[in-house]
């Protein structure tokens, strides 16, 4: 009963007016850029193209710099300043290059947990408010599920036209899990339950309120260390995440789109479960990135059978894709 009352209380803020529930719209997904200092102008050109496209919002899947460039404050701030030139609200999911990889020599030998705190300070100083020139209000797990998950200001969600968008914090580098580093493991085993709870609860709200579809966006390719096994290895930091998404998608029974970066090459396929079997009604979209400085425009029509359509946003001056 308490869960149903909570869902009912959230519904007006999440769903909006009945007249707008099924209105088609578009958004743009991008990330893994800029990796080289010389690529700054290319990202500016991409942002100009996104601004011209006038999406309802954009989603940046993280990795705002390369894993081997400096993680100093000024470099992080420069990246966020560039993101904030996007006219539309921009939802940001934290990547590994801006914190888990900051222990590397060329990245400055920072403490990754200290860098994560800095990223939260720079990008989420107002929990529930996105980046971009015209920020929008979203739900933050730090607010909705306080006090247990008050730390996780980066976990966000919102609903537009009957579609739930969920942004958990799932970075590359094995989801931040490094078994040889006790502090890394401690951080992972605190953050992972927050992610799993956020994903499960979001699917439940989507089902209970009759939403049309769910989009989940994060940084990591969750099959990163699959190697040559026929199923995901138990050492993977993504096993529980993949299981949670597969379970939620099967129970929802409606279209689910999983968007991520990490490998920098455009790819579209079914989302696979931990046995590497396709999950019904799902699509997995891997975005351009690194040297491929382009994006994906995603068309959303809640009343169409598949809900989602895809148009690559290619900037010819930026080179190969």
In this predicted structure, what is the pLDDT of residue 37?
85
Residue 9 lies in a domain: yes
Residue 231 lies in a domain: yes
Output the CA torsion sign for 200, 202, 203, 207.
positive
Q: What is the mean pLDDT of the chain?
A: 92
**Using alpha carbons only, how large is the chain's radius of gyration in Å?**
18
For 161, the domain range is 2-314
Residue 274 lies in a domain: yes
Residue 319 lies in a domain: no
pLDDT band at 16 (very low <50, low <70, confident <90, very high): very low
List Cβ neighbours of 236 (8 Å cut-off, separation of 6 or more): 174, 175, 222, 224, 225, 226
In this predicted structure, what is the pLDDT of residue 124?
98
Residue 298 lies in a domain: yes
In this predicted structure, what is the pLDDT of residue 229?
53
Q: Is the pTM of this model over 0.85?
A: yes
Residue 280 lies in a domain: yes
List Cβ neighbours of 244 (8 Å cut-off, separation of 6 or more): 195, 196, 199, 200
Percent of the chain with pLDDT strictly greater than 90: 86
pLDDT over threshold 60, residue 258: yes
pLDDT tens figures, 34-71: 999 889 999 999 999 999 999 999 999 999 999 999 99
Task: Tell me the average pLDDT across 14-33.
Answer: 78
In this predicted structure, what is the pLDDT of residue 263?
94
In this predicted structure, what is the pLDDT of residue 1?
44
pLDDT over threshold 60, residue 13: no
In this predicted structure, what is the pLDDT of residue 20?
57
pLDDT over threshold 80, residue 252: yes
In this predicted structure, what is the pLDDT of residue 65?
97
Percent of the chain with pLDDT strictly greater than 70: 90
In this predicted structure, what is the pLDDT of residue 133?
98
Q: Cβ-count burial of 305 within 10 angstroms (0-12 exposed, 13-18 middle, 19+ buried)?
A: exposed
Q: How many domains does the chain have?
A: 1
pLDDT tens figures, 287-316: 999 999 999 999 999 999 999 999 999 999
In this predicted structure, what is the pLDDT of residue 230?
60
Place of tokens 């899990």: 177
Q: Answer yes or no: are the C-beta atoms of 321 and 265 closer than 8 Å.
A: no
Give dist(CA 193, CA 149) in Å, integer.
9
pLDDT tens figures, 114-161: 999 999 999 999 999 999 999 999 999 999 999 999 999 999 999 999
List Cβ neighbours of 280 (8 Å cut-off, separation of 6 or more): 249, 250, 253
Residue 321 lies in a domain: no
Closest CA to 217 of 137, 280, 133, 287: 287
The domain that holds 64 is classified in CATH as 3.60.21.10
In this predicted structure, what is the pLDDT of residue 225?
62
Residue 320 lies in a domain: no
Query: What values do phi and psi take at 46, rounded to 5?
Result: -65, -45
In this predicted structure, what is the pLDDT of residue 2?
43
Closest CA to 207 of 268, 177, 250: 250
């Amino acid at each position: 009963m308490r869960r149903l009352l909570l869902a009912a209380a959230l519904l007006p803020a999440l769903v909006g007016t009945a007249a707008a529930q099924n209105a088609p719209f578009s958004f743009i997904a991008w990330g893994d850029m800029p990796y080289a200092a010389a690529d700054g102008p290319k990202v500016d050109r991409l942002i100009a193209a996104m601004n011209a496209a006038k999406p309802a919002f954009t989603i940046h899947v993280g990795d705002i710099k390369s894993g081997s460039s400096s993680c100093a404050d000024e470099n992080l701030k420069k990246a966020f300043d560039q993101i904030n030139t996007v006219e539309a609200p921009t939802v940001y999911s934290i990547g590994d290059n801006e914190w888990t990889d900051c222990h590397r020599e060329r990245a400055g030998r920072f403490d990754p947990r200290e860098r994560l705190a800095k990223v939260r300070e720079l990008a989420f100083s107002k929990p529930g408010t996105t980046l971009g020139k015209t920020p929008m209000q979203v739900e933050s797990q730090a607010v909705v599920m306080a006090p247990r998950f008050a730390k996780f200001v980066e976990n966000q969600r919102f609903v537009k036209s009957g579609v739930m968008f969920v942004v958990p914090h799932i970075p590359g580098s094995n989801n931040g899990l490094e078994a040889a580093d006790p502090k890394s493991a401690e951080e992972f085993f605190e953050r992972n339950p927050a992610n799993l709870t956020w994903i499960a609860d979001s699917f439940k709200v989507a089902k209970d309120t009759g939403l049309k579809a769910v989009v989940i966006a994060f940084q990591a390719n969750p099959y990163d260390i699959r190697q040559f096994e026929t199923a995901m290895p138990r050492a993977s930091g993504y096993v529980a995440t993949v299981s949670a998404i597969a379970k939620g998608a099967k129970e929802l029974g409606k279209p689910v789109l999983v968007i991520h970066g990490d490998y920098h090459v455009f790819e579209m396929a079914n989302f696979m479960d931990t046995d590497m079997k396709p999950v019904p009604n799902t699509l997995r979209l891997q975005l351009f990135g690194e040297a491929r400085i382009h994006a994906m425009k995603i068309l959303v029509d809640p009343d169409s059978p598949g809900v989602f359509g895809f148009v690559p946003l290619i900037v010819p001056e930026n080179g190969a894709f």
